[in-house]
Amino acid sequence: MTEIDLLIIGAGPAGCSAAIYAVRAGVKTIIAGGAAPGGQLLQTSEIENYAGFVNPIGGFEIMDAMHKQCKRLGVEITSDEVVKIEGEKTPFTVTCADGKIYSAKSIVIATGAKARWLGLTEEEKLRGKGVSACATCDGFFMRGKTVAVVGGGNTAFEDALFLSQFCPKVYLVHRREGFRADQVTVELARHNPKIEFVLNAVPEKILGTDAVEGLRVKNVQTGETKDLAVSGVFVAIGAVPQTDFLKTSLVALADDGLVLADDRAHTTLEGIFAAGDCADKHYRQAIIAAGTGAKAGIEAAAFVNKHR
Ligand SMILES: Cc1cc2nc3c(=O)[nH]c(=O)nc-3n(C[C@H](O)[C@H](O)[C@H](O)COP(=O)(O)OP(=O)(O)OC[C@H]3O[C@@H](n4cnc5c(N)ncnc54)[C@H](O)[C@@H]3O)c2cc1C
């Protein structure tokens, strides 16, 4: 068993930022980074909205820099995959997939989320070439172009409204006529001349070989198909927080699997903190993950220093 002050689960922007703050407060810190230390940013080659970089920076470059910064400060980063957290008070017992066990005075959960995709075969091939699950991240690359947003919840509507600021036409494709989104947001979109609703429709095929050229949708009532001429398809059908391993723990989760954490990153279990996309319903952006990670690192360090 490895005894440690602070175990951070996740080596994305939230986990790294938490580690930087904690280790600089004198707290011995290990990051269990899982199978893909670096997180979701590794899936993107161009980030233009992380403050501090004049030119776009690649996801790998930014995460490589964060990992090197953590290591320079004395943080150990492993590829341990955590499967279980036990205990109702400090110290907590953490079990990894390979059987390794940690005893940690405090824990930061920063395990991120995974976008939900449609499951179309062309979707993966055209990711980054017009297919995206993040309008905030990739919408800017679609300025002046016609795009489609798929979904019927708040995210889909907010994405459509956001994209309508710089796209001449935005199709909002939804499988039903009713929406889960707030009525106010729905009405804003309904009255926006650039947004056209395509209802009772499910995406059948994303058209294009090297870039998106269209979206084929099927009307679920008539069975008819039609091709929307779009250069971008934004999939807004939700994200899955990577929190399954917490279901046997005493850390409370919301119905959608997000970790319940307050605005100072405290979960429902004293000594365990959460940051980044695994606890974020609204933003899911790297800079926000890093910001909440910083809060979690500060709070975890204070907790550890109080329990020495
Ligand atoms: C294609 C794409 C493009 C994006 N573009 C942008 C952009 O341009 N700008 C922007 O701000 N944001 C962008 N985002 C969103 C951004 O990547 C996320 O908001 C951010 O990475 C969240 O950081 P995080 O640290 O919370 O989680 P993540 O980055 O998801 O990191 C989670 C970490 O937890 C680890 N982990 C998960 N489960 C376990 C476990 N059980 N045990 C151990 N480790 C575990 C993972 O391996 C990983 O290391 C993009 C996302 C995607 C998918």
Which residues sit opposite 198 in a β-bridge? 173
Beta carbons of 260 and 252 less than 8 angstroms apart: yes
Ligand 1: residue whose CA is nearest its atom 53: 40
Beta carbons of 106 and 304 less than 8 angstroms apart: yes
The mean pLDDT value for 173-182 works out to: 92
Confidence check: pLDDT of 150 > 90 = yes
267-297 pLDDT tens trace: 999 999 999 999 999 899 999 999 999 999 9
Q: Read out DSSP for the chain?
A: -EEEEEEEE--SHHHHHHHHHHHHTT--EEEE--SSTTGGGGG-S-B--STT-SS-B-HHHHHHHHHHHHHHTT-EEE---EEEEE-SSSSEEEEETTS-EEEEEEEEE---EEE-----HHHHHTBTTTEES-HHHHGGGGTTS-EEEE-SSHHHHHHHHHHTTT-S-EEEE-SSSS-SS-HHHHHHHHT-TTEEEE-SEEEEEEE-SSS--EEEEEETTT--EEEE--SEEEE-S-EEES-GGGTTSSS-B-TTSPBP--TT-B-SSTTEEE-GGGG-SS---HHHHHHHHHHHHHHHHHHHHHT-
Q: What is the pLDDT of residue 180?
A: 87
Centre of ligand 1 from the C-alpha of residue 108, in Å: 15
Confidence check: pLDDT of 44 > 90 = no
Q: What is the chain's mean pLDDT, rounded?
A: 96
Ligand 1 pocket test target in 31, 53, 95, 137 with most atoms within 8 Å of CB: 137
In sequence order, the 6+-apart residues with CB closer than 8 A to the CB of 139 are 132, 147, 159, 162, 163, 166, 167, 234
Beta carbons of 139 and 159 less than 8 angstroms apart: yes
Instruction: Using pLDDT thresholds of 50, 70 and 90, give the confidence band for residue 3.
Output: very high
Q: What is the pLDDT of residue 43?
A: 83
Centre of ligand 1 from the C-alpha of residue 113, in Å: 6
Q: What is the pLDDT of residue 258?
A: 98
The mean pLDDT value for 229-255 works out to: 96
**Share above pLDDT 70 across residues of the chain, in percent, rounded to a whole number:** 100
Q: What is the pLDDT of residue 154?
A: 87
Ligand 1: residue whose CA is nearest its atom 9: 137
Centre of ligand 1 from the C-alpha of residue 297, in Å: 17
- Domains in the chain: ranges and CATH: 2-114+239-306 (3.50.50.60), 117-235 (3.50.50.60)
Q: What is the pLDDT of residue 164?
A: 97
- CA-286 nearest atom, ligand 1: 11
Ligand 1 pocket test target in 8, 30, 41 with most atoms within 8 Å of CB: 41
Residues catalogued as catalytic: 134, 137-138
Ligand 1 binding pocket (C-beta < 6 A) is 9-15, 32-41, 43-44, 47, 49-50, 81-82, 110-112, 115, 134, 137, 242, 245, 276-277, 284-287, 289
pTM, rounded to two decimals = 0.90
Q: What is the pLDDT of residue 181?
A: 87
d(Cα 119, Cα 98) in Å, to the nearest integer? 31
77-97 pLDDT tens trace: 999 999 999 999 999 999 999
Confidence check: pLDDT of 13 > 90 = yes
